[in-house]
A = this chain, B = another copy of it.
Amino acid sequence: MPEFRQNQATKEWVILAPERGLRPSDYKKERAKPERVSAYSESCPFCAGNEDQTEQAVLTLPASDGWRVRVVPNKYAALQPQLATTRTWVGSFLSAKGFGVAEVVIEHPQHNQTPALMELIEVTDVLRAYRERQIEISRNEKINLVTIFRNHGQQAGTSLEHPHSQIIATPIVPPHVRYPMEQAVLHYDKLGSCVYCDTVTEELRQGERIIIETENFAAFCPFAARSPFECRIYPRKHQASFMLVGDDDIIELADVLRTVLNKLYHGLNNPDYNYIIRSSPIGDEDTRHLHWYIVIIPIISIRAGFEIGSGIYINTVAPEEAARYLREIRFVS
């Protein structure tokens, strides 16, 4: 029987309509895996040895024989840091110059790596690079929002195989971010608590959608998952900004992240996916009603006309089923 479910943080609804007779394992498709590509590609601008094909690095985590992680300005940046933030009326329409920061995080020197299969220390390095760049970029007082994300595979929006993620920082905080903030304030004023803290507490209490639980983090397929196998990682303690993650916690987080990615890798055969770190706008780091988190979205279904038109997503895999399936997938590095 189909069911509507509401995301308590955003108030958006989804429709849960499992396809008859399909089990989670039926979503495992034949897909290319990174071991089929080689560790070095001459034409890849991100491979160790080809550093001259990128802009100069803004952050390098050094290794004895080179580097572990490099962050470089995006050569094909959609936004440019040297522009002004001037807003202009074009008739009665509003525009602004494309000021912003766009960087690429090269996650590993080797071409055929992927976070799902990396060592814990390697994934930790990537998260440390994110955090350091977010802190540095946030010092620019014209920047108000830093979005960190990873596009994995062509269907997720990347044509580059080399493991990398991206950072885009904007002067604008759009309604897509503001509206959930307004809902979070309403929740805080009504119930005296952070809606995200309440969500992770309730997910842990109900338990059936939990994938992994550690001292400080919980990974789960959310109650109102918008698409099959959507996974989220929330800090269990209140924390509004990813910039505030401590040095011990970031190792624990890396372990949870790579475990979830590893389970998706084996359970769904290296699916294309996006992950995004959602974090408070700059200046709201200490607020009591916001909460950073990671959302991981395997590309299993297509957002079609109904989803675009109504914003209501139809999800064909119950998050309880997805979580149970992922819990049972053994971590294999």
Measured CB to CB, the residues of A under 8 A from B are: 1-6, 8, 10-13, 15-17, 77-80, 83, 90-98, 145, 147, 149-151, 155-158, 166, 168, 170, 172, 174-177, 179, 198, 202, 205-206, 223-224, 274-278, 295, 297, 302-306, 308-312, 314
Residues of B within 8 A of A310 (CB): 145, 147, 168, 170, 174, 176-177
Q: What 10 A-B pairs are tightest by C-beta distance, nearest first?
A: A176-B311, A2-B98, A157-B304, A149-B305, A276-B309, A17-B78, A274-B305, A4-B96, A157-B302, A6-B94
Q: CB within 8 A of A91: which of B150, B206, B295?
A: B206
A170: chain B residues within 8 A (beta carbon): 4, 310, 312
Identical chains bound together, number: 2
Judge whether B312 and A172 touch: CB under 8 Å. yes
Pick the contact of A150 from B15, B179, B305 — CB < 8 Å?
A: B305
Partner of A306 from the list B16, B17, B168, B305 (CB cut-off 8 Å) is B168
- What is the interface of chain A mostly: helix, strand, loop, or mixed? mixed
Q: Is the CB of A175 within 8 A of B309?
A: no
Contacts of A1 in B (CB 8 A): 80, 83, 97-98
A278 to B305 CA separation, bound complex (whole angstroms): 11
What residues of B have a CB within 8 angstroms of the CB of A13 in the complex? 172, 174
Q: What are the residues of chain B within 8 A of A206 when measuring CB–CB? A: 90-91
Contacts of A166 in B (CB 8 A): 305-306
